[in-house]
Amino acid sequence: MRIARIGNKDSTPGFAVEPDGGGWLPLSAMGIEAFSTADVIANFPEIEASMAGTSDTGVVQDPDFLSPIVAPTKILAIGFNYLDHIRESKMKEPERPTVFAKFPSSITGPYGEIVMDEELTKRGDYEVELAVVIGKKARSVTERDALESVFGYTVANDVSAREWQKIDGQFDRSKSFDTFCPIGPWITTADEVRDPQGLALRSWVNGEPRQDSSTKEMLFGVAHLIHYLARGTTLEPGDIILTGTPHCVGFAMDPPRYLTPGDVVECEVEDLGRLRNPVVGPTGA
């Protein structure tokens, strides 16, 4: 099942599901209230039951898609987790996952603007990533059982201000400026993803292919990441894990090619959808 958050100038934003007949059915039309991604997860048994008796009444065609991730308690992200990216960065393989956080305030929609203030950063970069949506509390789970904690998957762009990674000496702030986490366009539930380690992922800038790889290149797979992160931190429903990015990011090109206002970045994960985000200056110009 696909779950999105939709809205337009004439309607209040809300979560919706994709019926078999197409279009998007707001949860409100099913009598279900959900104000956050965690609410959707909590109500999912009722959503599934209600879908069995739905009709075309209330279905919305061609809506505006907003971020399907609302109010996560945390966004945890992994650096240097793709073997091809490790090679291009001329680094040794890490012995354990490299973990950092992105602030929830960095989230923007799948087609929202990425604000790149050139007075703040001249080294803005893109990173296509598979994002994992946690579906139930997870702490001290085994790697074998870890995928049972997954509600679904979506696409993310881990936008980064490269110079601030060095200036600050850590990743959190450089990855967390406003609009630096485009995500969506919907959540695909875990039962529809046969193998999270077998998905192609790609990115483009202004239509030019940049990244082209597969989640097979992950050094630490999704199950291991959940097991590792949940050893000391309780993962809550609606929390997000960004699982790393493959090779051909901007800083590793020769010469480096960073994002500037006027660019358009697209990120895609196989069967999960595509983001398309224009890069703008701080005034929206």
Q: Are 178 and 104 in contact (CB under 8 A)?
A: no
The sign of the torsion formed by the CA atoms of 217, 183, 281, 116 equals negative
Kindly indicate the confidence band of residue 55, based on its pLDDT and cuts at 50, 70 and 90: low
Question: Are 45 and 99 part of one and the same domain?
Answer: no
Query: Is the pLDDT confidence value at 169 over 80?
Result: yes
Question: Are 60 and 139 part of one and the same domain?
Answer: no
What does pTM read for this prediction?
A: 0.96
Question: Phi and psi dihedrals of 181, rounded to 5?
Answer: -140, 70
* pLDDT, position 93: 92
Q: Are 182 and 156 in contact (CB under 8 A)?
A: yes
State mean pLDDT over 25-29: 94
Q: Are 106 and 271 in contact (CB under 8 A)?
A: no
* pLDDT, position 54: 64
Question: Are 89 and 214 part of one and the same domain?
Answer: yes
**What does the pLDDT look like over 222-270, one tens digit per residue?**
999 999 999 999 999 999 999 999 999 999 999 999 999 999 999 999 9
Question: Are 79 and 61 part of one and the same domain?
Answer: no
Distance CA 241, CA 130 (A): 8
Let me know if residue 107 belongs to a domain: yes
**What does the pLDDT look like over 92-102, one tens digit per residue?**
999 999 999 99
Distance CA 175, CA 244 (A): 13
Kindly indicate the confidence band of residue 285, based on its pLDDT and cuts at 50, 70 and 90: very low
Write down which residue in 43, 66, 89 finishes a domain: 66
Strand partners, 205: 208, 265
State mean pLDDT over 176-182: 98
Both structure tokens of 94:
């890490």
Question: Are 197 and 265 part of one and the same domain?
Answer: yes
* pLDDT, position 51: 86
Question: Are 131 and 19 part of one and the same domain?
Answer: no
State mean pLDDT over 29-49: 96
Question: Are 28 and 159 part of one and the same domain?
Answer: no
Give the total number of structural domains in the chain: 2
**C-alpha 135, offset from chain centre:** 15
Q: Give the residue carrying structure tokens 């803005």.
A: 124
Question: Are 99 and 178 part of one and the same domain?
Answer: yes
**What does the pLDDT look like over 115-149, one tens digit per residue?**
999 999 999 999 999 999 999 999 999 999 999 99
* pLDDT, position 82: 95
Question: Are 264 and 219 part of one and the same domain?
Answer: yes
- Domain range for residue 165? 75-280
Let me know if residue 10 belongs to a domain: yes
Kindly indicate the confidence band of residue 53, based on its pLDDT and cuts at 50, 70 and 90: low
Please provide the DSSP assignment of 44-72 as one string.
HHHHHHHHTT--STT-BSSPEEE-S--S-
Question: Are 136 and 39 part of one and the same domain?
Answer: no
pLDDT above 70: percentage of residues in the chain? 98
176, 72, 41, 139: CA torsion to nearest 10: 100
Which stretches within the chain are classed as H helix? 37-42, 44-51, 83-88, 162-168, 222-229
Kindly indicate the confidence band of residue 58, based on its pLDDT and cuts at 50, 70 and 90: confident
Residue 206, judged by CB atoms within 10 A of its CB (0-12, 13-18, 19+), counts as exposed
- Give the mean pLDDT of the chain: 95
Of 185, 206, 189, nearest in space to 269 by CA? 185
10 Å Cβ neighbour count for 285? Answer: 7
State mean pLDDT over 41-52: 93
Which of 16-25, 38-47, 235-244 has the weakest average pLDDT?
16-25
Both structure tokens of 204:
């483009």
Both structure tokens of 44:
């999912």
State mean pLDDT over 10-27: 91
Both structure tokens of 114:
């990425």
